[in-house]
Amino acid sequence: MSKKVVKVIEVLAQSEKSWEDAAQRAIKEASKSVRNIKSIYIQDQSAKVEDNKIVKYRITAKISFLID
């Protein structure tokens, strides 16, 4: 029987476009040092506002990946 261990890391990311883009950026950056990414859970969303406009979309996310 094969046993798999999943590890979870918490990351912060931001984008000038959208929360979805921030999530994509989180995965892209995490994949530079982590292999076997399986999922992302968006724990929190926020935005930075300037002059009554959203200028940065921010997320706090948990990324799950398999350990070799």
CATH number of the domain bearing residue 20: 3.30.1660.10
Longest CA pairwise span in the chain (Å): 58
Q: How confident is the model at residue 3 (pLDDT cuts 50, 70, 90)?
A: confident
Spatial strand order of the sheet with 53-67 comes to 5-15, 53-67, 37-50
Answer yes or no: is pLDDT of 53 > 70.
Answer: yes
Q: How many domains does the chain have?
A: 1
Lookup: tokens for 27: 């995965």
- What is the residue range of 31's domain? 5-67
Backbone angles phi, psi at 51, to 5 degrees: 50, 45
* Burial class of residue 57 (count of CB atoms within 10 Å of its CB; 0-12, 13-18, 19+): buried
Q: How confident is the model at residue 15 (pLDDT cuts 50, 70, 90)?
A: very high
